[in-house]
Amino acid sequence: MGRFVVWPSELDSRLSRKYGRIVPRSIAVESPRVEEIVRAAEELKFKVIRVEEDKLNPRLSGIDEELRTFGMIVLESPYGKSKSLKLIAQKIREFRRRSA
Protein backbone atom coordinates (compact mmCIF):
# COMPACT_ATOMS: atom_id res chain seq x y z
CA MET A 1 0.00 0.00 0.00
CA GLY A 2 1.56 3.28 -1.11
CA ARG A 3 1.22 6.68 0.48
CA PHE A 4 1.82 9.73 -1.68
CA VAL A 5 0.94 13.37 -2.34
CA VAL A 6 -1.45 14.25 -5.16
CA TRP A 7 -1.36 17.75 -6.64
CA PRO A 8 -4.25 18.83 -8.91
CA SER A 9 -1.64 19.92 -11.47
CA GLU A 10 -0.64 16.25 -11.92
CA LEU A 11 -4.07 15.64 -13.50
CA ASP A 12 -4.50 18.97 -15.34
CA SER A 13 -4.75 18.70 -19.14
CA ARG A 14 -3.82 22.39 -19.58
CA LEU A 15 -0.28 21.79 -18.29
CA SER A 16 2.70 20.14 -19.92
CA ARG A 17 4.67 17.41 -18.20
CA LYS A 18 7.36 20.03 -17.55
CA TYR A 19 4.97 21.70 -15.11
CA GLY A 20 4.03 18.49 -13.33
CA ARG A 21 1.29 16.72 -15.29
CA ILE A 22 1.81 12.99 -14.77
CA VAL A 23 -1.13 11.36 -16.56
CA PRO A 24 -1.34 11.33 -20.37
CA ARG A 25 -3.18 14.31 -21.83
CA SER A 26 -5.81 11.92 -23.26
CA ILE A 27 -6.80 10.92 -19.71
CA ALA A 28 -6.13 14.24 -17.94
CA VAL A 29 -8.95 16.62 -16.98
CA GLU A 30 -9.13 20.39 -17.29
CA SER A 31 -8.73 22.31 -14.01
CA PRO A 32 -9.34 19.46 -11.55
CA ARG A 33 -10.60 20.66 -8.16
CA VAL A 34 -9.48 19.28 -4.81
CA GLU A 35 -13.07 18.24 -3.98
CA GLU A 36 -13.28 16.21 -7.21
CA ILE A 37 -10.00 14.44 -6.47
CA VAL A 38 -11.07 13.61 -2.90
CA ARG A 39 -14.48 12.35 -4.07
CA ALA A 40 -12.89 10.19 -6.78
CA ALA A 41 -10.32 8.78 -4.35
CA GLU A 42 -13.00 7.93 -1.79
CA GLU A 43 -15.14 6.24 -4.43
CA LEU A 44 -12.11 4.19 -5.50
CA LYS A 45 -11.68 3.18 -1.82
CA PHE A 46 -8.37 5.02 -1.42
CA LYS A 47 -7.69 6.36 2.06
CA VAL A 48 -7.59 10.18 2.15
CA ILE A 49 -5.13 11.08 4.90
CA ARG A 50 -4.82 14.85 4.59
CA VAL A 51 -6.24 17.64 2.45
CA GLU A 52 -4.74 21.13 2.27
CA GLU A 53 -6.49 23.52 -0.11
CA ASP A 54 -4.01 26.42 0.10
CA LYS A 55 -0.82 24.60 -0.98
CA LEU A 56 0.80 25.23 -4.37
CA ASN A 57 2.87 22.64 -6.20
CA PRO A 58 6.44 24.07 -6.23
CA ARG A 59 6.70 23.35 -9.98
CA LEU A 60 3.98 25.94 -10.62
CA SER A 61 5.73 28.88 -8.97
CA GLY A 62 7.03 30.24 -12.29
CA ILE A 63 3.85 29.76 -14.33
CA ASP A 64 0.99 32.13 -15.22
CA GLU A 65 -1.48 32.78 -12.41
CA GLU A 66 -4.41 31.44 -14.47
CA LEU A 67 -2.78 28.00 -14.81
CA ARG A 68 -2.00 27.57 -11.13
CA THR A 69 -4.15 25.08 -9.25
CA PHE A 70 -3.96 25.11 -5.48
CA GLY A 71 -4.39 22.13 -3.21
CA MET A 72 -2.61 19.04 -1.96
CA ILE A 73 -4.05 15.66 -1.02
CA VAL A 74 -2.18 12.89 0.78
CA LEU A 75 -3.56 9.47 -0.18
CA GLU A 76 -2.96 5.85 0.63
CA SER A 77 -3.63 3.47 -2.25
CA PRO A 78 -3.00 -0.22 -2.98
CA TYR A 79 -1.52 0.87 -6.34
CA GLY A 80 1.46 2.98 -7.30
CA LYS A 81 1.11 6.72 -7.79
CA SER A 82 0.92 6.64 -11.58
CA LYS A 83 -1.85 4.02 -11.72
CA SER A 84 -3.75 5.71 -8.89
CA LEU A 85 -3.65 9.07 -10.70
CA LYS A 86 -4.94 7.48 -13.91
CA LEU A 87 -7.84 5.89 -12.01
CA ILE A 88 -8.66 9.19 -10.28
CA ALA A 89 -8.59 11.10 -13.59
CA GLN A 90 -10.90 8.54 -15.21
CA LYS A 91 -13.30 8.76 -12.26
CA ILE A 92 -13.38 12.58 -12.45
CA ARG A 93 -14.15 12.34 -16.19
CA GLU A 94 -16.99 9.96 -15.32
CA PHE A 95 -18.38 12.42 -12.72
CA ARG A 96 -18.25 15.29 -15.20
CA ARG A 97 -19.95 13.23 -17.91
CA ARG A 98 -22.77 12.32 -15.52
CA SER A 99 -23.33 15.91 -14.40
CA ALA A 100 -23.20 17.41 -17.91
- Please tell me the predicted confidence (pLDDT) of residue 64: 87
Task: Write down the domain spans for the chain.
Answer: 2-99
Count of CB atoms situated within 10 Å of the CB of 78: 12
- Please tell me the predicted confidence (pLDDT) of residue 65: 86
CA distance 25 to 2: 24
Question: What digits encode the pLDDT tens for the residues 70-87?
Answer: 999 999 999 999 999 999
Helix (H, G, I), strand (E, B) or coil at 37: helix
Q: Average the pLDDT over 55-78 and give the result.
A: 91
Query: Domain spanning 2-99: which CATH class is it, in words?
Result: alpha beta
Question: What digits encode the pLDDT tens for the residues 3-56?
Answer: 999 999 999 999 999 999 999 999 999 999 999 999 999 999 999 999 999 999
Instruction: Count each helix (H run) and each strand (E run) in the chain, helices first.
Output: 2, 3
- Please tell me the predicted confidence (pLDDT) of residue 1: 73
- Please tell me the predicted confidence (pLDDT) of residue 24: 97
